[in-house]
Amino acid sequence: MKMTFRWFGDADPVTLASIRQIPGMTGIVSAVYDVAVGEVWPLAKIVELRDKIQAHELAFEVIESVPVHEDIKLGKPTRDALIENYTQTLRNLAATGLKVVCYNFMPVFDWTRTALRKVLPDGSYTLEFDVETVNRIDPGKGIQLPGWDTSYQPEQLKALLEEYASLDEEGLWANLEYFLKRVIPVAEEVGIKMAIHPDDPPRPIFGLPRIVKNRSDLNRVLSIVNTPANGLTLCSGSLGADTGNDVADLVREFATRDRIYFAHMRNIKVNEAGDFYETAHRSADGSLDMAAIMQAYSDAGYTGYVRPDHGRMIWGETGKPGYGLYDRALGAVYLNGLWEGIQKMKTRV
């Protein structure tokens, strides 16, 4: 298992020097953030980012993420040129030593939350998703929620939502298939593993189709192009937000088949209605049994990349909610401790 940490570049208040000091940290997960979605990532920018990370004795082998343009998700005539740009970016990443690309196929909205600052009893604050709040919102009226792309003006967002009005789940599946059948052969050729991230949360929102939500969906993604280059980012917090998903079982199934290339470890407190908030990583703090999830990875012989996902904001830290240094560092150490304990128990049996 390779412990990594997400870093948002020079604008991130969390420095590479700080990340380097986390015990057991081996690598950085990052991206090129100043290139418009749909354009080719220049090789020189990737090299510059890699060299900056490696100068701190941290590996740079995972990209999160190369965004998929909305025209590809909508199946518009412009998608062929955009897919060509996407595959050229993959070639440039491979030439720089990148091995895994995390991406998602969520329409319009990436991760969605209703609050960035839910205050917990210990005084820390965290990200929250409330179903009733989402159900009351009409995003076409210019209302913004955390996690949304703020580059859209209200009229642009309304127009984009109208374009999706005629696209159902099967239509989105067809557009994902079109994308994968053109991208995965290139990824295989250059030695890149594509790792799709599940929907966050794993449910339809605002009438938009969501198609990567559960075991059946994950199997369907893998079956579209059944090759090792087509794999998964298994996010415990995203999939765990549906109480019908047993995350440890999903790990056992897909890691045993060697189709998980990136593990996001996040704990949440979730109820049957689908409301949830993000907690510290410990099993005792949330609804997910992180020890059982790590045990499942170990049982499957997982050797891939893992990172502590969203954390609370603690000890007065400010910055990008969910992506502070302190709680994610505690999460990394906790996860490494679980892993070490599991491995030592194996040797004693």
Instruction: List Cα–Cα distances, 300 to 145, 220, 253, 259, in angstroms.
Output: 38, 21, 8, 11
The number of angstroms, rounded, from the C-alpha of 40 to the middle of its chain's C-alpha atoms is 21
Nearest alpha carbon to residue 281 among 126, 147, 128, 131: 126
**Which among 197, 217, 261, 289 is annotated as catalytic?**
197
Whether 338 and 291 have beta carbons less than 8 Å apart is answered as yes
Percent helix, percent strand, percent coil in the chain, to nearest 5: 40, 15, 45
**Which among 235, 275, 297, 334 is annotated as catalytic?**
235
Quick check: bond before 65 cis, omega within 30?
Answer: yes
| CA–CA separation, 108 and 207 (whole Å) | 11
What one-character-per-residue DSSP string does 155-184 give? Answer: HHHHHHHHHHTT--HHHHHHHHHHHHHHHH
**Which among 275, 310, 327, 334 is annotated as catalytic?**
310
**Which among 164, 309, 327, 334 is annotated as catalytic?**
309
- What's the half-sphere exposure (Cβ side, CA atoms, 13 Å) at 65? 18
**Which among 86, 152, 246, 264 is annotated as catalytic?**
264
| 56 catalytic per annotation | no
| 69 catalytic per annotation | no
**Which among 86, 152, 302, 323 is annotated as catalytic?**
323
Q: Residues 221, 222, 224, 227: what is their CA dihedral angle, to the nearest 10 degrees?
A: 150
| CA–CA separation, 323 and 311 (whole Å) | 6
| 102 catalytic per annotation | no
| CA–CA separation, 28 and 64 (whole Å) | 10
The number of angstroms, rounded, from the C-alpha of 314 to the middle of its chain's C-alpha atoms is 22
Q: Which two tokens stand for residue 30?
A: 């990052």
The number of angstroms, rounded, from the C-alpha of 253 to the middle of its chain's C-alpha atoms is 19
Sheet containing 268-270: order of strands = 115-119, 125-129, 276-278, 268-270
Catalytic residues: 197, 235, 264, 309-310, 323
